[in-house]
């Protein structure tokens, strides 16, 4: 260190003459030498200059940091109080420093052409964290912290940025009258108006709200978001093992909730139920939303007149591993790009005949418009069941029976 000071005497002399405190003086050479704090490094620089006959003491008030480091014990106490108010496995400290201080620091770096300084925010983050650690009893995590305590060094205030809780699972939807997610009113966009009777949404509840509102209360969180592996129409049921989803809770105060209790409470209704709840990482959201899982459906079909049972069965069997082209359906073209999508129907069976009605069970690629496969959607799906049967058909009820997805 002494040899380095001798080689950089002009920079050391100039910076010391600025009246910097020991910490700020040491930070100007923060990446030189190891095993010492910046205040020790600053004293070494000042002592070395003194041995050369140059008495360059620190100013009563540091012209760079304005003695903010003297407030670190108070900052650390505020951090501990805030972090101890939420559940987490780890934490990290961040700081918000006055822009004028940051600019003065950069000006000094440029003025003295410094090659190895440490930023004031870096030192504050580290040193406040070291002081807070014994009061928090949780490890510091730099890569993926569950809680970041942001200290505003101007006022000593601490704001917490708490990483969301992500809960994976599957849901069943038994009602044909609720959507998967909250559906804001088209007129007021959530504000409340006569069109939605002041509720701000088109439907009284949703799968998302049934579980999300309970999870929000259990975690003390701020808001919930629902990420499903696709979605069924409002008038469709989701049966079988259910549809995979991830529930996201923002700013939770409590992370380690009882998922069995959440499953029990959210299933106490006749509209939806939930199973296989487990905590997941953020990456699961994109994995679920990007998954292309085959789906099995059962649909109730009404034909335009009485149908021949054998003709229906033969038509169903003719769609074994059949490739179809589907142009964006009329019913969703106002919100979907007008594209032709290539899908495969893996198999179809027919049963439960009753006059002009029957049922189909079928397995298809992810993203297949099943109602349009049956009806043809005015020729926008080719080939389609109605055209091949020679009788116009429509789906009167649709159930999703299975989604072929397995956790990696």
Distance, CA of 238 to CA of 176 (rounded, Å)? 9
Q: How far is CA 260 from CA 76, 170, 222, 256, 267, in A?
A: 37, 13, 22, 12, 11
What three-state secondary structure class fits 8? coil
Q: In 10 A of CB 222, how many CB atoms?
A: 13
Residue 127, CA atoms < 13 Å, CB-side half-sphere: 21
Interhelix angle 259-266/207-219, rounded to 10 degrees, is 140
Point out the catalytic residue in the list 213, 233, 235, 365: 233
Residue showing tokens 């496969």: 373
- In whole angstroms, how far apart are CA 220 and each of 160, 167, 224, 267? 14, 15, 11, 20
3-state helix, strand, coil in the chain (%, to 5): 35, 25, 40
Distance of alpha carbon 37 from alpha carbon 206, whole angstroms: 56
Contact 279, 89 (CB under 8 A): no
Q: Check: CB of residue 252 under 8 Å from CB of residue 220.
A: yes
Closest CA to 293 of 408, 402, 170: 402
What are the tokens at 218? 């259990």
CA atoms within 13 A on the CB side of 145: 18
Asked if 15 and 38 count as a contact pair (C-beta separation under 8 A), the reply is no
Q: How far is CA 49 from CA 9, 53, 112, in A?
A: 8, 7, 17
Task: Give Rg (Cα) of the chain.
Answer: 32
Could you tell me where the DSSP H helices lie in 323-406? 370-375, 385-389
Known catalytic residue at 60 = no
**First-to-last CA distance in the chain?**
53
What's the CA gap between 229 and 231, in Å, rounded? 7
Residues designated as active site: 233
């Amino acid at each position: 260190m002494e040899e380095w000071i001798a080689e950089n005497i002009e920079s050391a002399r100039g910076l010391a003459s600025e009246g910097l405190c020991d910490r700020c003086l040491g930070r100007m050479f923060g990446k030189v030498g190891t095993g010492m704090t910046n205040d020790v490094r600053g004293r070494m620089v000042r002592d070395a200059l003194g041995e050369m006959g140059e008495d360059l003491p620190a100013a009563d008030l540091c012209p760079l940091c304005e003695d903010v480091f003297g407030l670190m014990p108070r900052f650390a106490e505020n951090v501990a109080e805030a972090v101890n108010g939420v559940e987490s496995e780890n934490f990290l400290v961040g700081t918000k420093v006055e822009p004028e201080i940051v600019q003065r620091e950069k000006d000094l770096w440029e003025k003295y052409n410094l090659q190895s300084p440490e930023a004031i925010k870096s030192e504050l983050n580290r040193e406040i964290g070291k002081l807070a650690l014994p009061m928090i009893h949780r490890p510091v995590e730099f890569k993926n912290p569950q809680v970041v305590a942001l200290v505003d060094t101007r006022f000593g205030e601490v704001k917490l940025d708490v990483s969301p809780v992500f809960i994976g699972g599957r849901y069943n939807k038994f009602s044909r009258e609720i959507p998967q997610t909250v559906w804001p009113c088209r007129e007021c966009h959530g504000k409340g108006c006569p069109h939605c009777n002041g509720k701000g949404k088109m439907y009284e509840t949703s799968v998302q709200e049934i579980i999300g509102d309970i999870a929000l209360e259990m975690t003390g969180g701020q808001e919930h978001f629902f990420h499903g592996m696709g979605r069924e129409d409002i008038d469709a049921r989701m049966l079988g093992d259910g549809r995979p989803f991830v529930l996201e809770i923002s700013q939770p105060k409590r992370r380690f909730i009882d998922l069995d209790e959440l499953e029990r409470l959210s299933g106490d209704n006749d509209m939806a139920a939930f199973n296989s709840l487990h905590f997941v990482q953020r990456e699961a959201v994109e994995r679920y939303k990007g998954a292309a899982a085959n789906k099995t459906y059962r649909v109730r079909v009404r034909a335009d007149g009485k149908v021949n049972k054998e003709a229906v069965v033969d038509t169903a069997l003719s769609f074994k591993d059949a490739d179809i082209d589907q142009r964006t359906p009329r019913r969703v073209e106002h919100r979907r790009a007008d594209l032709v999508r290539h899908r495969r129907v893996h198999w179809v069976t027919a049963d439960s005949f009753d006059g002009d009605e029957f049922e189909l069970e079928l397995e298809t690629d992810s993203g297949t418009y099943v109602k349009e496969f049956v009806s043809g959607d005015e020729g926008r799906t080719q080939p389609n069941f109605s055209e091949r049967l020679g009788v116009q058909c429509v789906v009167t009820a649709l159930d999703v029976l299975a989604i072929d997805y397995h956790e990696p």
